[in-house]
Structure 1
Amino acid sequence: MIEDDPFRCFVPYPPAPVKHASSGPLAGLTLAVKDLFDIKGYPTGAGSPTVLAQSGVKTRTAPVVKALLDAGARFVGKTHTDELAFSLNGKNAHFGSPVNPAAPERITGGSSSGSMAAVAGRLADIALGSDTGGSVRAPASYGGLFGIRPSHGRLSLKRTWPLAESFDTAGFFARDGETFARVANVLFGKDRTTLPERPRLLLADDLFAQAVPEAERILRNAVQRFVPLLGQPENVRAVRDMDALYWAFRWLQGREAWTADGPMIERFAPPLGPGVAERFAFGRSVSDAEVARGDTVRRNFRAKLAKLLGQDGVLLLPTVPDIAPLVSAGESELDDFRNRALRLLCLAGLSGFPQISIPVAYRDDAPLGLSVIGPRGSDKSLVVFAVRIERAARIRLA
């Protein structure tokens, strides 16, 4: 277990033995796990004092965690999460906030804040997180890591604290491509859709325009660095109505979050932190008509993106609009950035397609990620291609 935790990544639970295989494809790697996943011998707090008080010590381990342990990874601790996983900022009003090792004056992002910080700070080789609205992808961009939101339903969420059932996924972080691919090989098995060695690259001009101008310029330059090795992308428009997608996601996620946690909130009236309280209040207010409209928008977008990608296409886009906001930013500034980020992050959630944030660039000495979205079920081959992008961009930069 980790005793020295300079980045405040880990929940200070009393250590309990967690068995792992002595050999296997992940042998020699250390594993951190977001405190949404059950691990035998530990409680599951979900970033909430109320949930923690009711948890008790778990007697079984979540299947996705067990798969990593059975492959040889050694568990080193459970990591902090934003309260009930309903935030993108990495701040928890009850348990404090991890430090971003890659840019200490900037937020980690959330809600997989501790998992990102543990890997970026070299306290773990790999970390398990969850991604509903961007909770792996945004922190990965902010911390200079590989991070994946898999195809919806690709990895088991059994014995995992829920937020929004039709959006929740289990994802993971790694610092380097080789390690990232090792984890993917363990968790994903055979793809339903296998990308070709040189996929058809699609650069989403409308989505790049969602980034701040300097971040857009830097990321477009990063794309040009790997063009000689991987090919010139086709410029496309990926979204017809960004506001419609944003609100569809907000309505559907809000309704499902209230369904998951509303009964507990109404019964115990826990003191929810800034932003979290407002988001649950919004979720409670979502009407049946808004849910129906959101479902229609989701179905139409999923069909359009499936047609655009086909079986061989990969969409290139910024992970988030810019580098991580400053820790000193106020709640209104953070909320504004979150809403802008959701316009990019909601696409994979609404479609259910896999997305990977790739560490390719810096701005003002802070990391900035480029993302790829592939066809549903292409997770393993998308990882292989994402690793090739990072290597090609790095070689050209050198």
Structure 2
Amino acid sequence: MATSTPTSASEIAKAVSSGRLSASEVIEATLARIVQHDPVLNAFTDVTADRARAKAREVDAAIEAGKNAGPLAGVPFAVKNLFDVKGISTRAGSKINRDLPPASRDATLIERLERAGAVLVGALNMGEYAYDFTGENVHDGPSRNPHDPTRMTGGSSGGSGSAVGGALVPVALGSDTNGSIRVPASFCGIFGLKPTYGRLSRARSFPFVASLDHVGPFARSVRDLALAYDTMQGPDADDAACTARAVEPTAPLLAENIGGLRIALAGGWFQTNLFPEAVEAVARVAKALGAARVIDIPEAERARAAAYVITTTEGASLHLDRLRKRPNDFDPAVRDRLIAGAMVPATLVDRAQKFRRWYRTKLLEIFKSVDLLIAAATPCVAPKLGQVNFVLDGVEMPVRANIGIHTQPISFVGLPVVAVPVPLEPMPIGVQLIAPPWREDIALRAAYALERMGAVATLSPRGL
């Protein structure tokens, strides 16, 4: 954005609501920054400039008329291109979906953000059908890391991570099935929230694995993350998983003392397969929060395996017709995983689901004695684009299969997580703050405390 334009959502909303800046000025500065930097980042697949200008004029008119334009007045945001945007085909990172008719209505979360005064500026690059951890889309090209454009953003919400990390927008939406919010947050050095399963509506977003899919925001600060999250809360009859919980505001709680929280490190599986930078990041966060206790999470490795089984079989079921009719229009890596999923025996799926229920019970028991768990978000900083393997302790490991090694056992049972960025050199890396179900407020309060202490922070993009 222009130097005179704030880069945080809360500051933009304050400036616009007070009349110090117009929403139109903010949006023009945002569109100019996208034009300037997106050719490097490749974060956007669609820029909705006309729509954004029209919405900004609405916000300005409301303020001129003395009305409250909302808590996100004039704040630009963008969404992963699996969210329906009226007038645009919902491509979900694929070639096939481009043949769909344009969406006739926005996704619920877009509607809620715009009712709060936010302004949609476009749709963002992503891994095909969200089955991706790298951010390398074969149809649209890879999204690129704002701290080093030769590196991955992570996926599948790679464009979201790139757009927020590159300060093109202060807020973006993504989805997380096995780690697709937390991985880009980690690699791009920003904050990301994967809420409790069912907390935020997925209505009018393209699914991947219905029993695992979450949606949530990215932001450059904890306050912005909480403001966006609070705006989107609330039941929605259009999403069967999101019909029961009332709005539970978190932004007013951020400054509450966290001294009474029982905080521990996730042990066992979560302390294995880590590069030195991930070990250092976890240690910094644990020290800042005064956490020394380590709690072993039983059978986390099996949870990851079961998550793979459920992911690949549910995903295959969703795409069977496309696999039959247009196999050559898939990313070959995605296609082959889906075909493999279609051949998994039903007995294994049944075992995975039964184990899932057992594992959730065990984790809920752990949360009787602890309020927050700390774990690495990714095993390493962002790999180079195109990198196939990395070597840890002399062992060669496939990059794509192991980026989400520490996120899958958490989303598998729907726990809320805030990914916080530790600003290491030369690249940032994220840490997961994992809370009990429906306690996003705990993870956000801890993240805010870390941010105030300077233990975590979003840096200015280094690669632009």
TM over 0.5: yes
1:365-396 CA deviation, whole Å, 9 max, x = no partner?
11111111111111234223222223224399
Which residue matches 2:28? none
Q: Do the aligned partners of 1:33 and 1:128 also contact (CA within 8 Å) in 2? A: yes
Deviation of 1:287 (Å): 1.2
Q: Measured at CA, do residues 297 and 323 of structure 1 come closer, stay the same or move farther in structure 2, by a change above 3 Å?
A: same
**Matching of residue 8 in structure 1 with residue 30 in structure 2:** no
Q: Do the aligned partners of 1:131 and 1:168 also contact (CA within 8 Å) in 2? A: yes
Among candidates 397, 412, 423, match of residue 350 of structure 1: 412
119-128 or 183-192: bigger deviation: 183-192
Q: Kindly report which structure 2 residues correspond to 1:312-391, keeping only aligned pairs within 5 A, or say none.
A: 313-330=371-388, 336-363=398-425, 365-391=426-452
Aligned length in residues: 389
Which residue matches 1:232? 291
Name the TM-score, length of structure 2 as normaliser.
0.78
Which residue matches 2:344? 286
SS at match of 2:218: strand
Which residue matches 1:171? 216
SS at match of 2:120: strand
Which residue matches 1:206? 268
**Matching of residue 297 in structure 1 with residue 355 in structure 2:** yes
What are structure 2's unaligned runs of at least 5 residues? 1-30, 60-68, 234-246, 458-464
Percent sequence identity over aligned pairs: 30
Which residue matches 1:102? 147
Which residue matches 1:265? 323
Give the structure with higher Rg (CA): 2
C-alpha distance in 2 between matches for 1:332 and 1:232: 30
C-alpha distance in 1 between matches for 2:433 and 2:94: 33
Which residue matches 1:127? 172
Among candidates 37, 42, 53, match of residue 83 of structure 2: 37
Which residue matches 1:24? 70
SS at match of 2:145: coil
Q: Which runs of 4+ in 1 moved over 4 A?
A: 13-16, 331-335
- In angstroms, what is the RMSD of aligned CA positions? 2.5
C-alpha distance in 2 between matches for 1:158 and 1:187: 12
Q: Which amino acid aligns with 2:75?
A: L
131-140 or 266-275: bigger deviation: 266-275
C-alpha distance in 1 between matches for 2:73 and 2:48: 24
Name the TM-score, length of structure 1 as normaliser.
0.90
Q: Which amino acid aligns with 1:336?
A: P
24-33 or 201-210: bigger deviation: 201-210
Deviation of 1:26 (Å): 1.2
Among candidates 120, 134, 144, match of residue 189 of structure 2: 144
SS at match of 1:366: coil
Q: Which amino acid aligns with 1:221?
A: A
What are structure 1's unaligned runs of at least 5 residues? none
Which residue matches 2:15? none
C-alpha distance in 1 between matches for 2:216 and 2:286: 28
70-79 or 336-345: bigger deviation: 336-345
Q: Which amino acid aligns with 2:82?
A: L
Deviation of 1:245 (Å): 1.4
SS at match of 2:113: helix
Deviation of 1:102 (Å): 1.8
Deviation of 1:322 (Å): 0.9
Q: Measured at CA, do residues 187 and 299 of structure 1 come closer, stay the same or move farther in structure 2, by a change above 3 Å?
A: same
Among candidates 50, 65, 87, match of residue 96 of structure 2: 50
Which residue matches 1:159? 204
C-alpha distance in 2 between matches for 1:65 and 1:354: 21
Q: Measured at CA, do residues 311 and 165 of structure 1 come closer, stay the same or move farther in structure 2, by a change above 3 Å?
A: farther
Q: Measured at CA, do residues 270 and 51 of structure 1 come closer, stay the same or move farther in structure 2, by a change above 3 Å?
A: farther
C-alpha distance in 2 between matches for 1:146 and 1:289: 39
Deviation of 1:332 (Å): 9.1
Q: Which amino acid aligns with 2:151?
A: R
Q: Do the aligned partners of 2:96 and 2:330 also contact (CA within 8 Å) in 1? A: no
151-160 or 268-277: bigger deviation: 268-277
